A = this chain, B = another copy of it.
Amino acid sequence: MKTLFTLLIGAMTLMGPALAQTGGVPASTNIPGQKYPQILPDNRVVFRVKAPDARKLQIDLMKKYDMVKDTSGFWTVTTEPVGEGFHYYSLIADGIAICDPASQTFYGMGRMASGIDIPDKDMDYYQPKNVPHGQVRSVNYYSDMTRAWRRANVYTPPGYDENPKKRYPVLYLQHGSGEDETGWPTQGKMDFILDNLIAEGKATPMIVVMERGYATDPTRPVSTTNGMAPNVFPELLVKEVIPMIDKSFRTLTDRDSRAMAGLSMGGFQTFQTTMTNLDKFAYIGGFSGAGRLQPGADVKQLYDGALADADAFNRKMKLVYVSIGTKEPERMYAGVKGFHEALDKAGIRHVYYESPGTLHEWQTWRRSLRQYASLIFKK
């Protein structure tokens, strides 16, 4: 047993990040000890996979790159420069999009996917630092509505345990389509973003609840148009998640102490949830996804007329926040920007942010969370 044991320990502990022959460094998203993928100084990425028997391998990272096999059975490719931030990617082998065995995996694209995080010049705000740290807690609970056990990830701020009488405001923070409750604490680095903002005094210490944005009620009929069960997550959030969180954590339960935000699908869900429950939320955030507005339509018609009286709405809501990356697909960019312009036209006070140079990806959403979290729960 000793030999096996020693070998395995060794394999796990041998390699730290180091400059290799390529002049690059192993990505932070690699399995510990894996030297590839490597990020070069100009943000090109070198991928390397051992597969002596493969006929054809590709890397799919924004675009598809053919890998080339050397005589020792390793396939390699160097990409074009890749934008900063976190990107999902796939290895394509035998026509199947699969995970690169050298990468950690992340729930995205409706499956476990490989990911690579390209350092950003302005990445300081999501790095772990020598400041007090919160905790991300996994909470299991039974949902009557879905008749299933569910899991929420809950960030508690630094000091939560040390101040057992203190109560905190709560942000409900949702992932995008094809992702789940692990997205924000893993890909989004929300814990480090909050820890750093709180340490700098830029954000109010808060609890952040991250749930799985999919829920079906087995008693309700499937859609007659597409045969699918309706997603009742917005209703679940209000009827079950909020009461469970208010029972399990020391929350402030007034509406001025409750916010919601989400990215892409989570942004739509945020507007869907909050605009129909204005008595429960005082802050709304949509990152690359906000209210749904058909071209030429009027925001005053949306959500049963919740936005019809701009003055009343502006008095009631403490923050409406809408953001988009400037390099997002045109349809998404136009949709969110159009919603912002329609809010302007209707006199709805809001903050609109364009993240420079970022795609429909986590770098847009990390930046948005950094802004949004610094704007909410200010007395």
A interface, CB within 8 angstroms of B: 1-2, 4-6, 8-14, 16, 31-33, 49-55, 57, 91, 93-99, 101-105, 110-112, 128, 130, 133, 135-142, 149, 154, 161, 164, 177-178, 185, 191-192, 214-216, 218, 226-231, 248-250, 265, 268, 289, 292, 331-332, 335
Contact = CB atoms under 8 A, between A and B. Distances in A.
B54 A94 contact: yes
Given A5-B177, A101-B111, A214 B13 contact: yes
A174 to B, nearest CB: 12
Contacts of A191: 138, 140
Contacts of A249: 161
A214 B268 CA distance: 42
Nearest to A130: B142
Task: Pick the 6 closest A-B CB pairs, nearest first.
Answer: A53-B95, A164-B164, A54-B94, A8-B177, A10-B228, A105-B112
A128 B142 contact: yes
Given A8-B177, A51-B95, 16 more contacts: A1-B292, A12-B177, A12-B231, A32-B214, A51-B94, A55-B55, A93-B98, A97-B101, A98-B101, A99-B105, A128-B142, A128-B149, A135-B137, A135-B138, A136-B138, A137-B137
Given A8-B177, A14-B229, A137-B137, A54 B95 contact: yes
A9 B177 contact: yes
Nearest to A229: B13
A265 B99 contact: no
A360 B283 CA distance: 51
A186 to B, nearest CB: 10
A230 B10 CA distance: 8
Contacts of A16: 216, 218
Given A49-B96, A149-B128, A9 B214 contact: yes
Nearest to A112: B105
Contacts of A95: 51-54
A94 B31 CA distance: 22
Contacts of A54: 94-96
Nearest to A226: B10
Contact of A6 (B6, B226, B227, B331): B226
A325 to B, nearest CB: 14
A96 B161 contact: no
A94 B93 contact: yes
Contact of A139 (B91, B110, B135, B226): B135
A154 B138 CA distance: 10
A137 B32 CA distance: 22
Most chain B CB atoms below 10 A, which of A33, A99, A248: A99
B265 A5 contact: yes
A18 to B, nearest CB: 11
B96 A51 contact: yes
Given A13-B216, A96-B101, A331 B1 contact: yes
A133 B139 contact: yes
Contacts of A149: 128
A331 B97 CA distance: 38
Nearest to A91: B98
Nearest to A31: B111
A99 B103 CA distance: 11
Nearest to A99: B99
23 contacts: A1-B332, A1-B335, A5-B177, A8-B177, A9-B214, A13-B229, A13-B231, A31-B111, A53-B94, A54-B94, A55-B94, A57-B94, A93-B94, A97-B101, A101-B111, A105-B112, A128-B142, A128-B149, A133-B140, A135-B138, A161-B161, A161-B249, A164-B164
